[in-house]
């Protein structure tokens, strides 16, 4: 009999944690867990205690005896861990507000994982994931790292390529949502369909086949602009061009709207911003309501309100991935992993988001083959942008950061882009020690956001 396992969740005070616990409870018969450690930082202590208590109630209401531990000591938690999951947000939602407000005020897209906000999130997060990897090398050298922290593809690439931790798989809920919603659109059950995905995190395409091998991609494309089409809740459903999609014969992910419908998405985002602020500000209210629910001592199951968060359903991916490794399932999943030739136009060592077979050996990508010229060009551009972002996050090279901004299709290059970068660097000073010298120079020059909400957040220590 295989040993029971220890799981550690970094960012354990997240509002998403009850969904993760629900996934583990559902799979306990195939995934015997002896203990779960939820780890967070001092600023998240109260939320960690609330979530930890609820997580324990969820287990106590189940037929299984699993102990929840909460701690602010990451090293203590990591000792002899079998699986480590990461779901943290450096700077909390307040940092996301700055990521979204500052570009918006310059007439650019304010979005947490795409455009300027996504790059700054990577700048803040990559140094922290490096510290986590260094701790894992000391305290749990055989553990798997299952990353859900965004931008997931870039974080996973930093872990594997830059920091040398090979036992890492990156996850995203976007493919999972597609595979949940699209069968209904096609009048099929999920197990009657075969999905094949290829691309990058938040930038993939897929094809669909039925159980007789007949391709249904075109049928899904014909319904791509209908409701309940698999687009995540946090993305405005601008209409895709049917002529272009029919030519591609590929189903794009919801995030492609930011690139294929850039003008419409920007106009809608700026309109929403003018009317009600950023999505991050909206999510603060959603999160506060969730934690009010979690405080209820009688609540012992995941509330439906959690599905309003953009990352809903990720436990299906996170828990199933862990089970597939533990049980050597050889299961099809869509994950971020090393390319290994699956997409020939990208380096073999690059991290891609592709259909893979998950087993005790980790993720083995399924070969997609050659991309058409447009998709090939998009992927090479986006991968170059990611590589510049990762290098800048590690080195603090300001010129490299500007290169990442210039490459990103959602950032208008030139002096306005530089102004956005400079304001974001100053606004996030406490989370960007690698850029300390440049930020000091910018502050001497009087660079700072003039937005009252950003100024207020900084005054409060965020």
Which sequence positions are flagged as catalytic?
A: 255
Extract the tokens encoding 272.
Answer: 């929403």
Sign (positive or negative) of CA dihedral 236, 113, 260, 190: negative
Alpha carbon 360 to chain centroid distance? 23
How far apart, in whole angstroms, are the C-alpha atoms of residue 160 and residue 149? Answer: 14
How far apart, in whole angstroms, are the C-alpha atoms of residue 99 and residue 388? Answer: 19
Cβ atoms within 10 Å of 118's Cβ, excluding its own: 25
In 3D space, the residue among 109, 92, 106, 406 whose CA is nearest the CA of residue 235 turns out to be 109
Alpha carbon 3 to chain centroid distance? 30
Helix (H, G, I), strand (E, B) or coil at 432: coil
Beta bridge partners of 197: 206
The answer for residues whose C-beta is within 8 angstroms of residue 193's C-beta and 6 or more apart is 179, 182, 183, 186, 208, 209, 210, 211, 216
In 3D space, the residue among 110, 44, 450, 92 whose CA is nearest the CA of residue 279 turns out to be 110
Beta bridge partners of 333: 356
Helix (H, G, I), strand (E, B) or coil at 90: coil
Cβ proximity of 345 and 335 under 8 Å: no
HSE (side-chain half, CA atoms, 13 Å) at 65 = 0
- Phi, psi angle pair for 85, to nearest 5°: -110, 145
The answer for residues whose C-beta is within 8 angstroms of residue 368's C-beta and 6 or more apart is 196, 198, 342, 343, 354, 355
Cβ proximity of 89 and 96 under 8 Å: yes
């Amino acid at each position: 009999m295989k040993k029971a396992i220890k799981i550690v969740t970094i960012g354990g005070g997240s509002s998403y944690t009850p969904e993760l616990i629900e996934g583990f409870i559902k799979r306990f018969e195939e995934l015997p867990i002896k203990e779960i450690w939820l780890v967070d930082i001092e600023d998240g202590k109260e939320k960690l205690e609330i979530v930890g208590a609820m997580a324990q109630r969820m287990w106590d209401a189940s037929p299984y005896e699993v102990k929840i531990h909460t701690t602010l000591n990451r090293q203590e938690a990591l000792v002899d861990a079998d699986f480590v999951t990461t779901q943290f947000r450096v700077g909390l939602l307040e940092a996301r507000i700055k990521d979204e407000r500052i570009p918006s005020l310059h007439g650019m897209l304010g979005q947490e994982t795409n455009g300027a906000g996504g790059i700054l999130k990577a700048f803040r997060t990559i140094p922290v994931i490096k510290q986590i990897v260094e701790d894992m090398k000391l305290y749990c050298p055989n553990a798997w790292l299952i990353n859900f922290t965004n931008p997931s593809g870039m974080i996973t690439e930093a872990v594997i390529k830059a920091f040398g931790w090979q036992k890492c798989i990156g996850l995203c809920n976007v493919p999972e949502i597609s595979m949940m919603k699209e069968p209904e659109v096609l009048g099929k059950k999920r197990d009657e369909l075969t999905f094949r995905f290829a691309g990058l995190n938040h930038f993939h395409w897929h094809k669909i086949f039925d159980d007789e091998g007949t391709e249904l991609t075109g049928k899904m494309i014909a319904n791509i602009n209908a409701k309940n089409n698999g687009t995540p809740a946090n993305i405005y459903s601008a209409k895709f061009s049917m002529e272009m999609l029919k030519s591609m014969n590929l189903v794009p992910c919801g995030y492609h709207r930011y690139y294929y419908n850039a003008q419409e998405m920007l106009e809608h985002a700026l309109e929403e911003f003018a009317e009600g602020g950023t999505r991050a500000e909206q999510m603060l209210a959603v999160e506060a309501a969730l934690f009010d629910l979690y405080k209820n001592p009688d609540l012992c199951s995941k509330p439906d309100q959690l599905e309003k968060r953009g990352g809903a359903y990720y436990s299906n991916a996170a828990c199933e991935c862990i089970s597939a490794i533990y049980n050597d399932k050889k299961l099809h999943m869509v994950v971020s992993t090393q390319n290994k030739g699956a997409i020939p136009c990208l380096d073999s060592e690059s991290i891609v988001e592709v259909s893979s077979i998950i087993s005790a050996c980790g993720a083995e990508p399924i070969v997609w083959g050659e991309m058409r010229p447009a998709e090939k060009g998009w992927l090479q551009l986006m991968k170059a942008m990611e590589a510049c972002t990762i290098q800048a996050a590690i080195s603090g090279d300001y010129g490299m950061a500007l290169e990442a901004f210039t490459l990103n299709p959602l950032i208008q290059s030139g002096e306005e882009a530089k102004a956005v970068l400079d304001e974001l660097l100053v606004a996030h000073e406490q989370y960007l020690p690698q850029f300390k010298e440049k930020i000091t120079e910018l502050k001497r020059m009087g660079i700072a956001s003039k937005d009252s909400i950003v100024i207020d957040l900084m005054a409060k220590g965020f």
